């Protein structure tokens, strides 16, 4: 008798769960538009460009600029570009500036700072998980070591 009651309860619970499962799937567009399977996470490319100058507003060549895993050296006029792919929302990235060529182009102090992307607008997304890219201009003045 006890066994029969448990089997009946299990069947009722299984029926309720299956009805709720199908109803929930249909209410989120699964039955109306077909199921869309996408795997991954939203992403976007955050690009930082700028110019590194000395206190006299002269561009400095050979300064190492590092943001996350991307690093570069400034060109002849002190220009640089680094980028990071991350979740497409407001972001703050640490960015480091370091004189690595010694006295060749002058000696300058290191600088560690943060670049912030607030309400970024993304361009060139693919309509799927990739939202595109956004740019930020970030100019820096470095102080002499002496």
State pLDDT tens for residues 88-134. 999 999 999 999 988 888 899 999 999 999 999 999 998 889 999 99
Residues 83 and 119 grouped into a single domain: yes
Instruction: Kindly report, residue by residue over 6-50, the tens digit of the pLDDT.
Output: 778 888 887 777 777 655 555 555 555 555 666 889 999 999 999
Residues 114 and 61 grouped into a single domain: yes
**pTM flag (> 0.85):** no
Please give the structure tokens belonging to residue 40: 């991954």
Domain extent at residue 23: 2-33
Q: Are 92 and 117 within 8 A, CB to CB? A: yes
Residues 76 and 117 grouped into a single domain: yes
Q: How many domains does the chain have?
A: 2
* 140/48 Cα distance (integer angstroms): 12
């Amino acid at each position: 008798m006890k066994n029969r009651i448990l089997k009946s309860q299990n069947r009722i619970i299984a029926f309720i769960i299956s009805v709720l499962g199908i109803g929930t799937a249909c209410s989120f567009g699964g039955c109306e538009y077909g199921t869309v399977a996408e795997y991954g996470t939203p992403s976007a490319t955050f690009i930082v460009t700028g110019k590194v100058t000395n206190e006299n507003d002269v561009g400095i060549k050979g300064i190492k600029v590092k943001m996350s895993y991307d690093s570069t050296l400034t060109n002849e006029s002190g220009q640089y570009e680094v980028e990071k792919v991350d979740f497409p929302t407001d972001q703050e990235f640490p960015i480091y500036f370091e004189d690595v060529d010694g006295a060749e182009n002058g000696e300058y102090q290191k600088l560690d700072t943060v670049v912030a992307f607030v309400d970024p607008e993304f361009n060139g997304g693919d309509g799927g998980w990739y939202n595109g890219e956004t740019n930020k201009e970030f100019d820096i003045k470095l102080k002499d070591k002496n």
